[in-house]
Structure 1
């Protein structure tokens, strides 16, 4: 048995589960510091002066898992992050809307028989045109229209590439990638999405959440805080959407505004009594979210004379607590060494 190979495979598996989901320039720790510098330069230090958002205080005691309660929680996140909510449409039927949009795109593909790619398309409709119309009439016409146009464009591009490929190996690879998309339900694996409805000629933007988040208010808060990062960073054209680290920066934006406990606790979904993780959520991963929470806490301490360890221990999961406090200890030690070398007061 190759013990070294097995160990390396296990380490890669753990990194996929717990580490950042995107490549972060300079490594996660340096990227977090550089990105926090950028956020402070762009938004000032006021978000750091406020206390971190604690789940026990932020989530109403009477939260009942209804769409109304979840929408009120979303609006509360908006208020805390000081993001205007008058042009944001919050909804909790993301799976249905995405299925309707894909189905609408498929119906258009088949209706426009002049399109050459239709012959190789394997995109499937799961809703009839009448069912799509019913959902659109229920208030989701704007979201369905924007997403359907996106689905149609992506499918035509995929199929055109397959038809144009002359190399059999390349064609097989393109077909394999397309089949993976065709066989996966629209929007699967995602808890939330932000849409710029203005691209379809409509007013405002939309934050769509999965119905599966309704039962867990912490998931509603974490997902909403992330999507509101898109509302600010993308909606106000502060960063390029093509940046490879844009999703991770959006996670960090939520941490910067005090929602780090929610993001770190939600980064990995565990089964009680089992050590293995079921699902990873977010883009910083548990390790990145913990490191970001530690950096956020340390920077708050430098700005505001309070304990490095506020009331967080009772609010964070055990694994998150261990990782966060270990990184926080490293940040304190590094700052003390730097202060000693420079002859400056200790932080």
Structure 2
């Protein structure tokens, strides 16, 4: 019988393969293992964050009070002390004229992280305040910087920090939002330029490139999907009900990744 949500003409041997290339598979598995050692095995077993009134209300309008409450809730999911985080806002529309004058490719920053007087500061684009699910993904990414940069966990590591930040959002329970945001931005906007470390752009959420030779390596939908499969394996989940609410690309990679992982010998699976 063909598994649910799988096209009947897809060969079963294709379904048994890992949904990402070997290099990506090794990277995801290596750094998910690092996350277990770094944050502890209990961290991955917290409740997976999903769109609900507990996270943001149905009438969410992106007011400063609502946004700061949302930041506080995401902090609790990701193990960040909300009292140590300061929230600031900017409007990316104000940055567009400078980009045009300089002749650079268009980009739009949607989030930033830095530290001021010992406190983590995350800056959020006001233009995303009306999209709570996307805003949640941006907040999660910036709080990933807090867990990595703010807690001095990556100093001396030979790792693409932005990719690891995306992976940490998965490990710490926010992968549903960051995976879906990758799909959202892939569908809506392309061609963005790179910004310094700690800034989050739409292209960083998608992993898309300016051209085939310029790729910064942030997680794609399929990489997010396989990371979510590893996350589910760590949690002992074989068919998480929330997977049906993922966007198609990440959902397919998650399902294929779970099938692949559970068909591996136990020693390799661990």
**What is the TM-score normalised by the length of structure 1?**
0.58
| Deviation readout 1:227-285 (Å, 9 max, x if unpaired) | 111112111211138855111111111100111111111112269xxxx6634452212
Aligned mates of 2:254, 2:161 — CA distance in 1 = 23
How far apart, CA to CA, are the structure 2 residues paired with 1:93 and 1:185?
A: 20
Tell me, what secondary structure is at the counterpart of 2:86? Answer: strand
**TM-score using structure 2 length:** 0.73
2:24 to 23, 28, 32: 28
Cα pair 2:60 2:130 within 8 Å, conserved: no
Q: Does 1:278 align with 2:164?
A: no
1:297 aligns to 2:232 (yes or no)? yes
Does the alignment pair 1:191 with 2:82? no
Structure 1 unmatched ranges of 5 or more:
1-18, 100-123, 127-178, 302-306
In structure 2, the residue matched to 1:323 is 253
Counterpart in the other structure of 2:196:
none
How far did residue 71 of structure 1 move? 1.7
Which structure dedicates a bigger proportion of its chain to helix? Answer: 1
- How big is the shift at 1:180? 9.2
Unaligned runs of 5+ in 2: 1-18, 191-202, 206-217
Larger radius of gyration: 1
Partner Cα separation in structure 1 for residue 157 and residue 27 of structure 2: 17
Q: How does 1:222-237 map to 2 (within 5 A)?
A: 222-237=137-152
1:62 corresponds to 2:59? yes
Q: Which residue of 2 aligns with 1:77?
A: 74
Is the contact made by 1:226 and 1:250 (CA closer than 8 Å) also made in structure 2?
Answer: yes
Alpha-carbon shift at residue 219 of structure 1 (Å): 1.3
Query: Structure 2: how far apart are the matches of 1:221 and 1:329?
Result: 29
Partner of 1:313: 243
Q: Superposed, which structure 2 residues align to 1:1-347 within 5 Å?
A: 27-56=23-52, 58-93=55-90, 95=92, 182-184=102-104, 188-197=107-116, 202-240=117-155, 243-269=158-184, 278-279=189-190, 280-282=203-205, 283-301=218-236, 307-334=237-264, 338-339=265-266
C-alpha spacing 1:38/1:313, structure 2 compared with 1 (3 Å): closer
